Amino acid sequence: SLTIGIVGLPNVGKSTLFNALTKNDVLAANYPFATIEPNVGVVGVPDPRLAVLAGIFGSQKVLPATVDFVDIAGIVRGASEGEGLGNKFLANIRESDAICQVIRAFKDENVVHVDGKVSPKDDIETINTELILADLQSIEKAVPRLTKESRLQKEKVAVLAAVEKAQKILEEGHTLFSQGIAKGTEQGDLLHELHLLTVKPFLYVFNVDEDELTDDAFKAEQSALVAPAEAIFLNAKLEAELIELDDEEALELLQSVGQEEPGMATLGRVGFTTLGLQTYLTAGPKETRAWTIKKGATAPEAAGVIHTDFQRGFIKAEVISFADLVACGSVTEARAKGKARMEGKEYVMQDGDVVEFRFNV
């Protein structure tokens, strides 16, 4: 499955946040028998549709989609110089599908800032500089080879041009993602063979003081620093407390700081979309469940997420949109009203499809 790597300067609250990530109980529900690596935190993706479906079907269990976060330990500054830990740090980021930067905005004088002052803008620049330098090194290594190859292989001409364009952007101090060059875009895909870091989607977590959680002007200012990447605002200490409380107490604490959901839930939701993922839903008396697919996945590919046999033996999918199912109140009624569609192999799954697959075994 896809993973999001968590990075940040020392003392910004990464461990505090990560501990909260590894303690939430979505883990036990979704992976009862799996061993999870100690540096992986699994977060549920909040989806209010699941409870509604569970009500309609009388499901015993509800399983949300999940996102995996990987704690990427190691120093940041100097990482691109490739010494020891730095190398490992970059290799771990390279394996992640998206990059989540934790940025300190909380002021606490008892917690030392590595650079002596709290400045989200400077911290973002410090981290991005290392990633940019690492990408420039990859490019410098690749250019002589690509230049040679492009004389004989026509398709390498476009790759070389894309690489040179990327080099210019990086030299100006920008990440490629911030300039619209990302995985899935034409330019981004041309760069694929270089395994660059800054084409990965970015996501920023601002670890803020409690009063800043409701400070819209402050949040708008920070969001502007990182756009088009998404910004999330949370207080890591508060998240660590929330995880220890029962639902009712947690709700009370959240309301006392003007929040509608835990930062963890926001992180799950935003992380999921940052990875370019989508869900479809299955429901029955046993369980209601959200399954994770890539945007644009076809019905057989979606079936394959449940079991490879479902994909191999795929015949059709009976699809009812969530809205239609809720309006009709039951599958029987939806069928009677012509709202249940039989879809074939070419069908591209839509967000919120409630599905039952027909397959040969």
Q: Which residues bind ligand GDP (CB under 6 A)?
A: 8, 10-16, 106, 108, 111, 207, 235-237
User: Shortest distance, CB of residue 197 to ligand GDP, whole angstroms?
Assistant: 20
Residues 6 or more apart whose CB falls under 8 angstroms from that of 222 comprise 103, 105, 120, 204, 206, 231, 233
Complex with ligand GDP: residue 16 or 167, whichever CB lies closer: 16
Nearest to ligand GDP of 59, 207 (CB atom):
207
The DSSP annotation for 91-158 comes to HHHHH-SEEEEEEE----TTS--TTSS--HHHHHHHHHHHHHHHHHHHHHHHHHHHHHHHHH-THHHH
Cα 41 versus chain centre, distance: 12
Question: Toward ligand GDP, which CB reaches closer, 108 or 211?
Answer: 108
Cis peptide before 10 (omega within 30 of 0): no
Q: What is the nearest approach in angstroms of ligand GDP to the Cβ of residue 168?
A: 33
Report the candidate in 190, 192, 210, 222 with the shortest Cα–Cα distance to residue 254: 210
* Closer residue to ligand GDP, CB minimum distance, 16 or 179: 16
Q: In terms of CB distance, is 83 or 211 closer to ligand GDP? A: 211
Q: Write out the two tokens for 11.
A: 């003392």
Q: State which residue, 259 or 311, has the beta carbon closest to ligand GDP.
A: 259
Enclosing H/E stretch for 61:
strand 61-63
DSSP 298: B
Using CB atoms within 10 Å of the CB of residue 151, give its burial: 0 to 12 exposed, 13 to 18 middle, 19+ buried: exposed
Shortest Å, Cβ 113 to ligand GDP: 10
Q: Rounded to the nearest whole angstrom, what is the least distance from the CB of residue 75 to ligand GDP in the complex?
A: 11
The CB-of-18 to ligand GDP minimum distance in angstroms stands at 7
Q: Residue 78 CB, nearest distance to ligand GDP (Å)?
A: 17
Residue among 105 and 297 whose Cβ is closer to ligand GDP: 105
Q: Which is nearer to ligand GDP, 237 or 339 (CB)?
A: 237
Distance CA 72, CA 165 (A): 29
- Report, in Å, the least distance between residue 105 CB and ligand GDP: 9
Q: How far is the CB of 71 from ligand GDP (least distance, A)?
A: 9
Residue 289 has φ and ψ, to the nearest 5°, of -145, 145
Using only C-alpha atoms, the chain has a radius of gyration, in whole angstroms, of 23
